[in-house]
Amino acid sequence: MAAYAPHFPGSNSIVEEYWLEGRAKGKAEVKAEDILYILKVRGVEIPGSVRERVAECTDLDLLGTWLDRSLSIQRAEELFGEE
């Protein structure tokens, strides 16, 4: 039985590359928003420098670590730990 390999316009092209890049950027933005929201709901004060660093981060693994930490830290600066 033959394997189905879909091919659509833009596949393996600069268009697809930009689409995937945009999708990853969107995921990072959502995680950053989630981190800041969790801190806000928990009543943790968020200095501008922390808000900016979280919002500008595009590393999904690092954002995942910060998301986990946001659930238990007492001060926003503790997000960054000892990376």
Each residue's pLDDT tens digit, 7-36 = 555 566 666 665 556 655 678 899 999 999
pTM: 0.71
41-60 as b/e, with b when 16 or more CB fall inside 10 Å? eeebebeeebeebbeebeee
Closest CA to 65 of 77, 76, 79: 79
Task: Provide the domain count of the chain.
Answer: 1
In a domain, 74, yes or no: yes
**pLDDT tens for each residue of 52-64:** 999 999 999 999 9
In a domain, 41, yes or no: yes
- pLDDT of 43 strictly over 70: yes
In a domain, 25, yes or no: no
Contact 36, 55 (CB under 8 A): yes
Rounded CA-CA distance 83/80 in Å is: 7
Host domain of residue 60: 30-78
In a domain, 12, yes or no: no
Top-confidence residue, 77 or 82: 77
In a domain, 10, yes or no: no
